[in-house]
Structure 1
């Protein structure tokens, strides 16, 4: 796994959705091998063809099995079910959870799960043999489908420093930069912030409010 430049193979579970396909386009253009995972193999293959750059389409489980890094970008309603589905093939891999606990219809109101966060749910389900990192909550999908990097910072959380560092690098391929947000428990702040940004978008009539961390070089 990985190519001659030691770039990891990335599977995006939910890769036909707005966020997943946006991430896929950016990483594929940056030279990463990208696998689109979907419940519909046909939709995954069609999305991969539209992305180009040797992207390929698979089922959820097959994409996760082949990849080094598995990004989960499904709706929150499918979060737990999806994690249980791919758990058998995740041992030893990095799982990047990009899911935000949005509860329609009040998606601009913070409604965190009883577990505390989607990241905590993910860790509880997949166990200690999987290195869980949480990121990409506050990147508007529309920004990812535009040219160049999205003009925002990406907060990255995880208990494994090496896994966290790798994902910070991946974030720098799709946005202004990845920023180390510390341990996985801190993901609750970014997950909650997503609802606030959705509300800001509505009230100020903008398409993609994001965050920037000041004071960094």
Structure 2
């Protein structure tokens, strides 16, 4: 008997990163609910994804609605809004998050110097989310270092790894599986406090993109040998 896949809500799912992740999970057979402050825009985005992948998958459902309804009807919530709206958005859906997993993709990018590490005073944007929500919500940090253009291009494999931080190993493992379903290797990277390293790496990668004129730099974990298993 196959394991039942959780229903995923992607909050901020009308943005580039949210759309890319949604496309990959929908292709892998997960049921998706796109959440947005504008439920009509969320519905339009869901229809676009469904139409684009209609020849690839019909085993899962995808729809769009408002943020709060999307969270209420889902098992795992993925937050993909810009840093400036992170805590405001979490506050608006907090009552529906209790006893659920919140996967926070937030990297604290502060324009105009997004290529410079600018961690918040408490050390981590995702830790700030956990502090706001309390212990009844399991916040997991993941996907901060994956460029949106890689996610939305389903024609190529993503040659990047995902650092997954959280205080509960079982909940991290849920997200490791989601990373795998989206075509990436997920790594248990320790407690939520370690998310500061992943958040900082986002600015480092942006700087590398600019300095070396490349697109979508990412990270890979290796044991230093050429026979490392992916």
Deviates more, 1:92-101 or 1:4-13: 4-13
Give the superposition deviation at 1:37.
Answer: 0.5
CA distance in 2, matches of 1:206, 1:119: 28
Whole-Å Cα distance in 2 between the matches of residues 6 and 122 of structure 1? 28
Deviation, structure 1 residue 149: 3.6
SS of 2:160's equivalent in the other structure is strand
Displacement, 1:176?
2.8
The answer to whether the 8 Å contact 1:153/1:210 transfers is: yes
**How big is the alpha-carbon RMSD for the aligned residues of Structure 1 and Structure 2?**
1.1
The alignment status of 1:34 with 2:32, answered yes or no, reads: yes
Picking from 61, 73, 77, the partner of 2:80 is 73
Q: Which of 182, 201, 207 in structure 2 is aligned with 1:174?
A: 182
Pair 1:204-2:212 in alignment: yes
Question: Considering only CA atoms, is the larger Rg found in Structure 1 or Structure 2?
Answer: 2
Residue 207 of structure 1, CA deviation:
1.1
What is the aligned partner in structure 2 of residue 43 from structure 1?
Answer: 41
- Residue 138 in structure 1 maps to residue 145 in structure 2: yes
Q: Could you tell which deviates more after superposition, 131-140 or 44-53?
A: 44-53
**Number of residues paired by the alignment?**
214
Q: Hey, what does 1:21 align to over in structure 2?
A: 19
- Alignment TM-score, normalising by the size of structure 1: 0.96
Deviation at 1:175, TM superposition (A): 3.5
Runs of 4+ with deviation above 3 angstroms: none
2:55 alignment counterpart? none
- The reply to whether residue 214 of structure 1 matches residue 222 of structure 2 is yes
Cα deviations by residue, 1:91-114 (Å, 9 ceiling, x for unpaired): 110000001100000000000001
Q: Give the unaligned 5+ runs of structure 1.
A: none
User: 1-side partners of 2:170 and 2:157: how far apart?
Assistant: 24
Residue 206 of structure 1 and its aligned partner are, at CA, apart by: 1.0
CA distance in 2, matches of 1:69, 1:204: 37
Matches within 5 A, 1:6-155: 6-52=4-50, 54-147=61-154, 148-155=156-163
